[in-house]
A and B are shown apart, each in its own frame.
Chain A
């Protein structure tokens, strides 16, 4: 019996490895004989040359100088977490990985493969306990605690979103951003009347398209509203009037002739390029937009953003997704890995993250670049936060149910009622097969 299961497990491991053909590259780097406290393997989601990579590489160099340890970094790029999956079944795991919460949670967090970072959270950085450096309102929605209630992820930055515009062209939006959905539509109408293109969108990126619907629903029904709808096995949650109202808002955008021509038939990043060149006025997108579009933005472009139009009477919420580190339970140098993680939370590197890499550092006291000052302000003053896709991670739900059907709505092929009906039917089928 036990041999049988051992063989079976070996087979599973081999198959997992073969399924992830690309995964083979990194596994061998971690020498079996490594002493705890001298060598670390780090799989990073950043690629060589990216601004974020430069900050982390600088921090690692300082860490090596200070501690005498060797950190073997592999700048793997965004697929590092996918590559981690098969590695977790072997003994060749990296000591530390980084990635967004939405990717790390299903792979290493929810499966109980991540080390509780008790040491890291108890450590002190710049005279403050690490646990105090991470604002509580973020931890509330990102369930980074394992089954025993201990955190397994140490975030170092946030990604958020907003409706982006050129503040040099529209200083009025900076002082008085749209205070409601109607205000927002009014602004779009004004742009249209002026002969401008109100909105840009890369319609081929389903994840950007679905931000409209999920955010609209979270605005009216609060954080977790979409997750609740998605989890309803009977599909009845789709009948709620607020769900249809959110879909109607998307329909209004898609069918109101506000979007740049050809948004439904282009290849990313064509339309965000059009926007950055002044071909369209507004763009709903992530906090990475200044970094991503700065190379081709029009001269004198001043990046600024306002949050997705709020609903009066509802708490002010902003999207905030963690990007951070996790350490596999099988790591050979877990102590040193935690030390590295806390070291990189130092103010110096957090500042560099904000000003050089122009992203949102996790520490509220860290400096940020003017390009993302607007998002930072929105985050700091928010009452609460919500996650990308409102935290839905059920296998395949987002890619196979939400995205294809939402694309039809956002690309103007169906109306809101049809969207709701299709989602409901698809979701009932989904849960019948997946429960």
Chain B
């Protein structure tokens, strides 16, 4: 405490002298400028070294054929052309988009619905914790659990047997794995976004709802004219968060399908992140770092474009309240 005061006194003392010359605004500006380097500098250096330089390096690698070590062969944009022509990449890309849009839509519809229900519910704090809980669990756990639950001799089929179902669906068949992953992601992520949205909804002063009640607004009208406009910025942030994280989804796919250490997931459930990883680190064949980085750069470009578009689409004048 005393040091804080001391420091403030020290910075304050030269101020009156400057005040005389330039006025207060200039002094604060100068102080700010002085603080810019020490505060922003380290973060900027770390960010540049750890993110920007590797990203530029990756862009450079993507122009080569390279096994990760040894000689590099420059091939220009060939890797990009190759990746775009690869049906598997297009399928992986399609899966990434499915996660982004279909899972995203499901998550936000559910999250909004839950927000509305939870707002007036008794014991909402407890419920909020319960639905948030799955988000705390590592995706690996769900991947391993999937085996226990859905294996031919697993929990679901054992429970179905007494009900007379002796020919249950092939839950973990290759074509069913991706829908299962999508369902798992909805179940684990909805609680997270519900929590964030609820924080936004809780900010809305109660007299708006009283107004609604007096005006005889339905629940939908209340959502449309009060809750949505007043939580729009929160929703926009959530949408950006989901966009960024959905494009990076990797581990749940890796452990859900065929893997647990002995193999790689079936191509039906690959995303661009998995495609990139297998291309670079499959362990079964010569690494293709050029193609892998090309696919990674394409993902990066995709995220950037989508985030810019989202920000633009979601842009509204902030409602002050």
A residues in contact (CB < 8 Å) with B:
8, 10-20, 78-79, 81-82, 85-86, 88-89, 102-103, 106-108, 110-113, 202, 204-208, 261-262, 264-270, 274, 389, 392-400, 403-404, 407, 411, 429, 433-434
Check B88 against A8 for contact (C-beta < 8 Å): no
Check B286 against A206 for contact (C-beta < 8 Å): no
6 A-B residue contacts at CB 8 Å?
Answer: A19-B289, A88-B69, A206-B266, A395-B279, A397-B285, A433-B85
B176 contacts A by Cβ under 8 Å: yes
Instruction: List 5 other contacts, CB 8 Å, given A106-B286, A265-B171, A398-B284.
Output: A12-B61, A20-B281, A106-B285, A107-B287, A262-B170
State the Cβ distance, B132 to closest chain A Cβ, in Å. 27
Check A78 against B261 for contact (C-beta < 8 Å): yes
The chain A residue sitting closest to B62, CB to CB, is A15
Q: For A407, what are the chain B residues with a Cβ–Cβ distance below 8 Å?
A: 174, 266
Q: In the complex, A399→B150 CA distance in Å? A: 25
Provided the pairs A15-B57, A15-B61, A433-B85 are in contact, do residues A399 and B284 lie with their beta carbons within 8 angstroms? Answer: yes
Q: For B174, what are the chain A residues with a Cβ–Cβ distance below 8 Å?
A: 204, 264, 407, 411
Q: In the complex, A110→B50 CA distance in Å? A: 30
Provided the pairs A106-B67, A407-B174 are in contact, do residues A82 and B281 lie with their beta carbons within 8 angstroms? Answer: yes
Q: For B284, what are the chain A residues with a Cβ–Cβ distance below 8 Å?
A: 102-103, 207, 389, 393, 398-399
The chain A residue sitting closest to B283, CB to CB, is A103
B residues in contact (CB < 8 Å) with A:
50, 53-58, 60-61, 66-72, 82, 85-86, 88, 146-147, 150-154, 170-174, 176, 257-264, 266-267, 278-289, 291-293, 296
Q: In the complex, A35→B67 CA distance in Å? A: 31
Check A108 against B283 for contact (C-beta < 8 Å): no
Check A19 against B292 for contact (C-beta < 8 Å): yes
Provided the pairs A15-B58, A107-B68 are in contact, do residues A399 and B152 lie with their beta carbons within 8 angstroms? Answer: no
Q: For A265, what are the chain B residues with a Cβ–Cβ distance below 8 Å?
A: 150, 152, 170-173, 176
Check B263 against A11 for contact (C-beta < 8 Å): no
State the Cβ distance, A198 to closest chain B Cβ, in Å. 17
Check A13 against B57 for contact (C-beta < 8 Å): yes
Provided the pairs A395-B286, A404-B266 are in contact, do residues A12 and B172 lie with their beta carbons within 8 angstroms? Answer: no
Q: For A433, what are the chain B residues with a Cβ–Cβ distance below 8 Å?
A: 82, 85-86
Check A264 against B170 for contact (C-beta < 8 Å): yes
Check B278 against A205 for contact (C-beta < 8 Å): no
Q: For B260, what are the chain A residues with a Cβ–Cβ distance below 8 Å?
A: 267-269
The chain B residue sitting closest to A106, CB to CB, is B286
> A204: which of B70, B82, B153, B258 is its contact (CB, 8 Å)?
B258
Q: In the complex, A26→B194 CA distance in Å? A: 40
Provided the pairs A205-B263, A404-B266 are in contact, do residues A399 and B285 lie with their beta carbons within 8 angstroms? Answer: yes
State the Cβ distance, A24 to closest chain B Cβ, in Å. 11
The chain A residue sitting closest to B143, CB to CB, is A267
Check A400 against B60 for contact (C-beta < 8 Å): no
> B54: which of A18, A107, A392 is its contact (CB, 8 Å)?
A18
Provided the pairs A85-B69, A204-B258, A270-B152 are in contact, do residues A399 and B266 lie with their beta carbons within 8 angstroms? Answer: no
The chain A residue sitting closest to B278, CB to CB, is A399
Q: In the complex, A18→B289 CA distance in Å? A: 12
Check A396 against B282 for contact (C-beta < 8 Å): yes
State the Cβ distance, A121 to closest chain B Cβ, in Å. 23
Check A88 against B68 for contact (C-beta < 8 Å): yes
Q: For A17, what are the chain B residues with a Cβ–Cβ distance below 8 Å?
A: 54
Q: For A13, what are the chain B residues with a Cβ–Cβ distance below 8 Å?
A: 57
> B151: which of A8, A205, A206, A262 is its contact (CB, 8 Å)?
A262
Q: In the complex, which of the residues A10, A18, A102, A207 has the most CB atoms of chain B within 10 Å of its own CB atom?
A: A18
Q: For B264, what are the chain A residues with a Cβ–Cβ distance below 8 Å?
A: 206, 399, 403
> A111: which of B50, B70, B259, B291 is its contact (CB, 8 Å)?
B70
> A394: which of B56, B263, B286, B291 is its contact (CB, 8 Å)?
B286
Check A396 against B279 for contact (C-beta < 8 Å): yes
Q: List 5 tightest A-B contacts by C-beta distance, closest first.
A: A262-B152, A15-B57, A111-B70, A265-B170, A11-B57
> B147: which of A102, A270, A396, A399 is its contact (CB, 8 Å)?
A270
Q: For A261, what are the chain B residues with a Cβ–Cβ distance below 8 Å?
A: 152
Provided the pairs A265-B170, A268-B258 are in contact, do residues A11 and B151 lie with their beta carbons within 8 angstroms? Answer: no
State the Cβ distance, B278 to closest chain A Cβ, in Å. 5
Check A204 against B263 for contact (C-beta < 8 Å): yes
Q: In the complex, A13→B72 CA distance in Å? A: 12
Q: For B283, what are the chain A residues with a Cβ–Cβ distance below 8 Å?
A: 78-79, 81-82, 103
Q: For A108, what are the chain B residues with a Cβ–Cβ distance below 8 Å?
A: 69
Check B285 against A394 for contact (C-beta < 8 Å): yes
Q: For B291, what are the chain A residues with a Cβ–Cβ distance below 8 Å?
A: 395-396
